[in-house]
Amino acid sequence: WSLPIPMLKSASFLFGLFFKKFQADIVHLHSPKLSPLMVKHPRTVITIHGGTDEFRQKYGAAGELVSSMILSLMKRSRVTTTVLKTEAERRGWIWIPNMTDVKAIDQIPPSNESCILFVGRNDPVKNYQLFRRIVRRLGLRYKAFGVEEVVDWRTVISYMKSAKCLFITSKWEGMPSVLLEAWAAGCPVIASELESFLPFRDALILSRPDPEEMVEAYYSLELVRDKIVRHGRRYSEMFDYPNVVKKYLRIYEYILEN
């Protein structure tokens, strides 16, 4: 149960959990907003998907205060993992990347249409307006899935397989599924130069979030397309879900044995 109000959704859901009785050997939280639940369940694993700077990016000073409170609470966690490699190194957490399903992606045929792609929800942090400015300058066909069109997952993958490229124009990201899916689908990626993408700079083109520089990055794509697609495919196979699930299982075994 939760209130259908964006700013109160997580808080109301957490409040309800405190009064809910359930038996569990381990509680695995995939949102740091739920970290107060550790008071009730000591055997807790927290996974950070968006990075601890996400609240600051979204809510300014109020978000910074919330982020500080959450970090303090998270010290109670038995294990903290994050999908951001650099944040894991900085904070001494365990890095476990996001995952994808390479086999399922391989079975989807490409679409018969080649265009520029945007894939993401209609949220200011995804910076769809920057993408619109880019495509206006390029004057090329595009698809904006999640904003202008809502389609099923298989359709997104089929367009990735035939796309000229995928633009990720976000102001902040953890390790988005759309990046791993593009890598597995052989779709070249041009992305904003974010901390989370830096360890994988050999598998995508990074650019300042400026329309002119993003357009220049697109025109330079043919020089590096084969290289970044090849490296992206290698990463997607490393982050295939059976490999990533094993990392979580080892953590669960460690907690239960200690």
> Cα Rg for the chain, rounded, in angstroms?
19
Can you tell me whether residue 148 is helix, strand or coil?
A: coil
201 and 228 Cβ atoms separated by less than 8 Å:
no
Sheet of 142-145: strand order equals 142-145, 116-119, 165-168, 189-192, 205-207
What pLDDT is stored for residue 21 in this prediction?
A: 78
Name the more confident of 63 and 213: 213
132 and 118 Cβ atoms separated by less than 8 Å:
no
Of 8-22, 49-63, 84-98, 167-181, the one with minimum mean pLDDT is 49-63
Which residue from 194, 160, 175, 188 is spatially nearest to 238, judged by alpha carbons? 175
Q: Which two tokens stand for residue 116?
A: 């520029």
What pLDDT is stored for residue 43 in this prediction?
A: 84
Q: Which two tokens stand for residue 95?
A: 């890095």
What pLDDT is stored for residue 138 in this prediction?
A: 98
Q: Kindly report, residue by residue over 139-173, the tens digit of the pLDDT.
A: 999 999 999 999 999 999 999 999 999 999 999 99
183 and 226 Cβ atoms separated by less than 8 Å:
no
What pLDDT is stored for residue 7 in this prediction?
A: 60
Does residue 1 have a pLDDT over 60?
A: no
Which residue from 24, 54, 55, 56 is spatially nearest to 40, judged by alpha carbons? 24
pLDDT band at 137 (very low <50, low <70, confident <90, very high): very high
Say if residue 59 is exposed, middle or buried (CB neighbours under 10 Å; 0-12, 13-18, 19+). Answer: middle
pTM, entire model: 0.88
What pLDDT is stored for residue 18 in this prediction?
A: 75
Can you tell me whether residue 6 is helix, strand or coil?
A: coil
Of 54-58, 77-81, 101-105, the one with minimum mean pLDDT is 54-58
Domain-wise residue ranges, the chain: 9-98+242-257, 102-239
pLDDT band at 37 (very low <50, low <70, confident <90, very high): confident
Q: How far apart are CA 67 and CA 134, in angstroms?
A: 33
CA distances from 145 to 95, 122, 129, 135, 157 (A): 29, 10, 14, 14, 11
CATH domain 102-239 topology: Rossmann fold (3.40.50)
Q: What is the dihedral of CA 199, 202, 203, 207, to 10 degrees?
A: 80
Mean pLDDT, the chain, rounded, equals 90
- Residues 188-217, mean pLDDT to the nearest whole number: 97
pLDDT band at 63 (very low <50, low <70, confident <90, very high): low
